[in-house]
Structure 1
């Protein structure tokens, strides 16, 4: 909380939304004076005229050229959150397209004691309202939730735009003679929820008491429902991880009264802890139950504390929010990776820790997959080539940068293709020049036919470039894929931002190309200037790294088809400091991966001589089917169905990893056999890498449901663990009680029952009783559950 509330609000005014380096400090009062006196009148009236005429697109362009006010505080050096050096404690309520008259609604807002200032928006169809809060910048999202609930409760039929949740969010200037500014306004009190603890951390001293205090705020203790109240409270405390002894002691201290004695309290708490032993600690990262209770907000002093994830949609079938630990994003088991092909084993020698080992392995496999000409295999009747896509996410400074040196291993091969292509282009240019000269001679010799046979126009030869950058247009990407064929291209970037910036443009929306190329499906484009490009079997690999926030922009939702095509590895934690070493004394160490690249180039040249067809054994196929059929139905019944494609496509990714390992074996052995069977050792390596990354992918997918807010991981195995905890025969009431204890809603529990019957995991016996089938009995509790 801030110690003192400054009613003279400091803001920052930017020249435009795009010019983040031209800004001036202003006060909110000074800005409102300019809004009233017409400083921006002409520009704003131009916008409103376009809106009135129905020219929404032109109005949007015109509006973006208006100055931009950041009411969140004083900014220096830019408009990102990190540039906010002085937080003002001012929340902006952006009301778009309000019902009725904006001026009448503004008059009503003026009467609200906590609204500091307000004016009609530059479009003339909404309002901008400014409210002061007593919280600090860290809790701005919570403050925004409180203010939003107040405004939506006090003003009829309005909805506050959620974009204001960020303190650095700006609003375009306006013109409004009826705008108002109050010298003094009521400051909104923001009840801040207690800090979140680690998933399995022990409760801090007095944290039980604090927890119950917050529970009571949303669940008042009344004489008529004392028993059910203690049942509900004990259930929540059990799942939160508090011990039975301390819960019993606290309940006896608080709730013992005539008619509700110690014996009843002891028996109630003991019964809950005994019946729900399997749920103890299952929801230890959960916020206090009372904190999420939605009430009509009429009094600032009685506002229910708002958790930091108050803006999130709680309709997810996943479990409650929790903070994952490193064990939730496992490293590869080095004991299972012994006996790798020599090239990969040598590449891993430079890794200094587990994270660097995993990233080097993934980068090597992904990049090498694009340097294996004529290597392919078949799955479910379709032919596939080796290249695949990998994305590594992790916070800044977590060690992602180590993959840059692995790129040196692919450069010799790409350079050799480029140089060979350059010579052919040079030859083509000479032949083209000779052809044009011959045509000129023919036109000049009209009297007699020139001696010799006329030259034929040479076939067009264009420069091959196997490396693709993130800043590539869609048309250029398709054209380059066609030019590079039959060789595979590689899209490599260590900054996801380059892909995000390009894909956000009309000319760079190549998500379609990535989706098609993953399956080797036809891509094409046509334009009047460049003609038509068609790639029948595009071959493209991709390796990119970025922060979680960048990844959320790259793939904002799991419904995006690209997500299921990615092999994802998330770096948990903030990384470790890497000390300087004496290896820097020898410049030869800088060329280590370049030397490995020379070996890879020789292998690629060898593989180009003959075809290589790779296939599984029957035993390997059966193992894949057993594992992925189980995961498929786990997701169908107990998770989000939009990630079922993630499960299915990881089979193909495992196959491609196995292709890489098998092709490297062939090249190292220098055997020209066309048909190569994947060895059991290579299969187990590919299977291990693929299933570990599937676990990463499933957990990362839970964050994408909240991509517009702070990221929250969820217990994606919560429903599966609930089902597994049930006896072979159970009744609906038992399932629902257990679900409530585990933080799963009743509606989610009933949906799970329906799906479990649909996929033959349960048989209904009638009267609310169910019997598990053999398949249902095979559903086991996860490590987390």
Structure 2
């Protein structure tokens, strides 16, 4: 299909949609030069039709502009720009054939521009500008500090941190909490590490070893209970007619801590209820879960959403009409997979799973890494030792009772400032599509604080003697006198508070990139990580020239950057100054 035929298809699509694809003068000019360059005089009627959808349409002025474009064409603007502008406003047509791509049309700006970027992402390509990594100078409490050092790249450091926080937090769900939004929330997190093949995400398999000692101890006790049950059942069966006088042995619950992802939605529910509502799903390949749950996706989604909020889970066994439930759920999830594995598990942002996840996108490895630089250390043994140590420390924490994280008034104020600013910024950039993600990111940041605060408080041994722990404010004087304390107040020191809060921006940016893998719902044109990176790279005051130059350095097309600049100004994310071509970022509340 040639350029003119493609233009006819686009014009018809735009007219049917009734959409103005060139609302600003800059875009108006770009459309004129693009059509004039690639279609010549034959494209005049299409240009006038596209312009007629604007409330400012003046046929005579539009015709004069097109004639000028034919005479003084800009060779660097082609018809792909028109398709791109249409795509930004939600008008889509099928991509032209290879004949069109071989013409002067910019192939990267054809009508499937956004979908092309999505396909690249699904294949594992990172954003044009690298996503942010966490501050490497933070001193995390033991053992996180040592765990993070086992990574060989900033991204590996980050996923070891997130994976360890999720894994350790899964074990203390019943032991630490924080008041948030009128509810008590515990550190039960759901994380999804996304990376192209062989990008280094396999290091997460080490994190699972932190939980295996806890799981193994539970399974050993289950095995002992099952042996006892089978002996009692055999004795019962041997009673013959006397069985009616004896009590039927009850099979013990099949408790576990590590719940297999190669499961069904119902199976996960049964495992959770048997385990008193506490568990961790830790899978290095997300398709293990997406393949297993199959047609039960709705059940899986319902379980995950309820688990995030610690809600009651229940079901009826049809065979014996037995009703089973757990009144509080403390399930954590740690998954990793390729970009192509995101959509089968989370097909849309509308079902609520997307907003509940902590996402991290790892970039592809573009050079060989030395695999013999660890002094031949066996990291599996190291992580297993940390897991055994954590299991023992967890027992002493559990014996002390329940710890409630209490932020200071100043910490609450700072937390609210940052998330208020991020919520406003996200709404302007993405409509309401990321609003729930930002809201739940606040919950997840609080949960991470719980884990960090508890690890810091228990770092030196007896947690009750830590300066960050004190008896609950409502503890009876007699209990204090007799040292009978089961409720404790937990504080987080300023350094740890700010360290966790600093994760917010990075996690938000990673989530916006993962958003591009999923189909659009409420908005036809989303914000993305590349645009956020471009804006964040600019000084508070900058010029249009500097903005476009930086975009070029990042591999972003000039017309795309110009459109972003207009939208950013329109939505209040940047402001123009009195000097033409000069802009500034407005003061943020956070």
> Shift of the alpha carbon at 1:495?
0.9
Q: Closer, same or farther in 2 for the Cα pair 1:740/1:498, shift >3 Å?
A: closer
Which residue of structure 2 aligns with residue 195 of structure 1? none
Q: How many Å separate the matches in 2 of 1:477 and 1:288?
A: 49
> Structure 1: how far apart are the matches of 2:448 and 2:71?
52
Structure 1 vs Structure 2 CA RMSD: 4.8
CA distance in 1, matches of 2:530, 2:209: 39
Report what 1:193 is aligned to: none
Alignment equivalent of 1:671, drawn from 445, 456, 463: 463
Is the 2:36–2:69 contact (alpha carbons within 8 Å) kept by the matching residues of 1? no
SS in 2 for 1:742: helix
Q: Is 2:128 aligned against 1:307?
A: no
Tell me the secondary structure at the aligned position of residue 433 of structure 2.
helix
Aligned to 1:535: 326
Which of 497, 500, 503 aligns to 1:683? It is 497
Query: C-alpha distance in 2, partners of 1:718/1:349?
Result: 27
Name the SS for the 2:222 alignment partner: helix
- Post-superposition CA distance 1:364-391 (Å, at most 9, x none): 1111111224222221111222120111
3-state SS of the aligned residue for 2:282?
Answer: strand
CA distance in 2, matches of 1:233, 1:720: 31
| Cα deviation 1:710-753 (Å, max 9, x = unaligned) | x996655599999x9999xxxxxxxxxx999822599x79xx96
Partner of 2:416: 625
Does the CA-based 8 Å contact 2:423-2:439 persist in structure 1? yes
Aligned length: 482
Report deviation, 1:778.
Answer: 3.0
Give the Å deviation of 1:561. 0.8
Answer yes or no: is the 8 Å Cα contact 1:218–1:293 preserved in 2. Answer: no
2: CA distance between counterparts of 1:461 and 1:649?
A: 37
Partner in structure 2 of residue 108 of structure 1: none
Whole-Å separation in 2 of the counterparts to 1:231 and 1:560: 53
Distance 1:214 1:582, change over 3 A: same
Q: How does 1:675-754 map to 2 (within 5 A)?
A: 675-705=489-519, 715-717=530-532, 742-743=562-563
Judged with a 3 Å threshold, the aligned counterparts in structure 2 of structure 1 residues 480 and 413 are, in CA distance, closer, same or farther, namely same
Q: What is the match of residue 225 of structure 1?
A: 65
Structure 2 CA distance, aligned partners of 1:418 and 1:326? 47
- SS of the residue corresponding to residue 504 of structure 1 reads helix
Q: How far off is 1:395 after superposition?
A: 1.0
Uncovered stretches (5+) of structure 2, i.e. residues with no partner: 11-32, 45-62, 87-92, 465-469, 471-487, 544-557, 576-584
Question: Equivalent residue for 1:645?
Answer: 436
**Equivalent of residue 377 in structure 1, options 153, 171, 178:** 178
Given candidates 276, 280, 290, the residue that maps to 1:490 is 280
Q: 2:37 is matched with which residue?
A: 216
TM-score, normalised by the number of residues in structure 2:
0.69
Please say if residues 396 and 547 of structure 1, whose CA atoms lie closer than 8 Å, have aligned partners that are also in contact.
yes
Name 2:354's counterpart in structure 1: 563
Aligned with 1:405: secondary structure? helix
1:778 — aligned with what?
Answer: 587
Is 2:285 the counterpart of 1:499? Answer: no
C-alpha distance in structure 1 between counterparts of 2:428 and 2:191, whole Å: 28
Match of 1:409 in 2: 210
8 Å CA contact retained: 1:614, 1:676 = yes
* Aligned-residue offset at 1:307: 3.3
Counterparts of 1:214 and 1:522, CA distance in 2: 60
Higher RCO, 1 vs 2 (CA within 8 Å, ≥6 residues apart) = 2
**How far apart are 1:704 and its partner, in Å?**
2.2
- Closer, same or farther: CA 429–309 of 1 in aligned 2, 3 Å: farther
How many Å apart are 1:572 and its aligned residue?
2.3
Residue equivalent to 2:197 = 396
Deviations 1:115-144 (A, max 9, x none): xxxxxxxxxxxxxxxxxxxxxxxxxxxx8x
* Length-normalised TM-score, structure 1: 0.53
- Give the aligned partner of residue 38 of structure 1: none
C-alpha contact (below 8 Å) 2:81/2:110 kept by paired residues: no
Q: Could you say which residue in structure 2 is the equivalent of 1:351?
A: 151
> Which residue of structure 2 aligns with residue 329 of structure 1?
131
Report deviation, 1:293: 8.3
Q: 1:521 aligns with which of 280, 288, 311?
A: 311
SS of residue matched to 2:458: helix
Separation in 2 of the partners of 1:290 and 1:633?
30
Distance between the aligned counterparts of 2:35 and 2:157, measured in 1? 45
Aligned to 2:579: none
Q: Residues 655, 779 of structure 1: CA spacing in aligned structure 2 closer, same or farther, 3 A cutoff?
A: closer
Distance, in Å, in 2 between the alignment partners of 1:700 and 1:407 is: 24
Contact 2:513-2:528 at 8 Å conserved across structures = yes
Secondary structure of the 1:559 match is helix
**1:627: how far off?**
0.9
Q: SS at the partner of 1:515?
A: helix
Answer with 560-569 or 571-580: which moved more: 571-580
Q: Offset at 1:407?
A: 1.4
1:469 aligns with 2:260: yes
Aligned equivalent of 1:172: none
Q: Secondary structure at the match of 2:149?
A: helix
Query: Structure 1 residue 425: deviation in Å?
Result: 3.4
Partner of 2:363: 572
CA distance in 2, matches of 1:630, 1:522: 33
**Structure 2: distance between partners of 1:621 and 1:677:** 12
List per-residue Cα deviations over 1:217-261 (Å, max 9, x = no partner).
157699943796499977x97xx9xxxxxxxxxxxxxxxxxxxxx
Q: CA deviation at 1:424?
A: 3.0
Q: 1:777 to 1:515 in 2, by over 3 A?
A: same
Unaligned runs of 5+ in 1: 1-142, 154-211, 241-285, 444-453, 728-737, 763-775
The alpha-carbon deviation at position 422 of structure 1 amounts to: 2.6
SS across alignment from 1:467: coil
3-state DSSP class of the match of 2:368? coil
Is contact 1:410-1:597 (8 Å) kept? yes
Work out which of the two has the higher radius of gyration on C-alpha atoms and give 1 or 2: 1
Cα distance in 1 for residues equivalent to 2:214 and 2:73: 65
Partners in 2 of 1:590 and 1:726 — Cα distance?
A: 50
> Taking structure 1 as reference, are residues 650 and 216 closer, same or farther at Cα in structure 2, changes over 3 Å only?
same
Task: Tell me, in whole angstroms, the C-alpha distance in 2 between the residues paired with 1:712 and 1:684.
Answer: 27
**What is the CA–CA distance in structure 2 between the aligned matches of 1:224 and 1:508, rounded to whole Å?**
57
Counterparts of 1:712 and 1:645, CA distance in 2: 15
What do the CA deviations read for 1:150-200 (whole angstroms, capped 9, x no partner)?
9999xxxxxxxxxxxxxxxxxxxxxxxxxxxxxxxxxxxxxxxxxxxxxxx
Taking a change above 3 Å as real, the CA distance of residues 634 and 582 of structure 1, as seen in their structure-2 partners, is: closer
SS in 2 for 1:572: coil
